[in-house]
Amino acid sequence: MRILTVSALMTGAFFVFVAFSPIIIRVRISIRGLSARVAIQVRCLYGLVRYSVESGLDGRDRPGKGGGKGFASAGTRAGRGRGPAHGDYLTALRYLATRATLMEFDIRASLGLGDAAATGIATGLAWGAVGALVAAFRNIVPRWSCEPYVSIEPVFHARRLEVDSTCIVGFRAGDAIVAAGLLAVRYLRGAVDRG
């Protein structure tokens, strides 16, 4: 009986450890002219589990060419009842976003069009777009542990586009488990309704 009690307590402690462990997602986007790189790093269980992926697009690449499946094929599969609908994913993401904390939001850019007047107008438009982006992030993820840092510098004497941005979001693994549960429940309800 004691062994059963001790194993139950250890299992419960493990689940509490997992549920309250943070998941940290770091997204870094770097643009140089027509080339772009995206790096995503995920850390969970207090850094014991780490995953990272990096992808890039060269200015000579043509989007849409190649053998990969795009977003349209995934949506078609979901529409035929083989997976959750897009609204189910949005519900789970909304739940997760309300419990997440934005830990870093950093955008640094240099913009030049070769003409001083055009560069000034483009820089003002870029500031407006980034301001709208920050406001949208504030509505989506209401908890911020930092102030956003934004720097857009005009380059009046040359043509240049350089952007370095970093966004770090953290949430508890338990919240991700609940969001996955919401997605599973909505999927099962839809499967029962479809017959």
pLDDT of res. 79: 44
pLDDT of res. 28: 95
Measure the N-to-C terminal CA separation of the chain; round to a whole number of Å.
45
Tally Cβ neighbours within 10 Å of residue 116: 13
Distance CA 32, CA 111 (A): 11
In a domain, 38, yes or no: no
Instruction: Return the C-alpha torsion angle 66, 68, 71, 76, nearest 10.
Output: 110
Per-residue pLDDT of the chain (195 residues; tens, 9 = 90+): 788 888 888 888 888 888 888 999 999 999 998 899 999 999 988 888 899 999 988 765 555 444 443 333 333 344 445 556 667 778 888 888 889 999 999 999 999 999 999 999 999 999 999 999 889 888 888 888 888 999 999 999 999 999 999 999 999 988 888 888 888 887 787 766 665
In a domain, 35, yes or no: no
In a domain, 19, yes or no: no
In a domain, 82, yes or no: yes
Structural domain harbouring 177: 69-194
In a domain, 47, yes or no: no
pLDDT of res. 71: 35
DSSP state of 126: H
In a domain, 41, yes or no: no
In a domain, 1, yes or no: no
pLDDT of res. 39: 94
- Residue 10, judged by CB atoms within 10 A of its CB (0-12, 13-18, 19+), counts as exposed
pLDDT of res. 191: 61
Question: Count of domains in the chain?
Answer: 1
What is the CA 1 to chain-centroid distance, rounded? Answer: 47
Nearest Cα to 95, choosing from 187, 9, 178, 184? 178
In a domain, 141, yes or no: yes
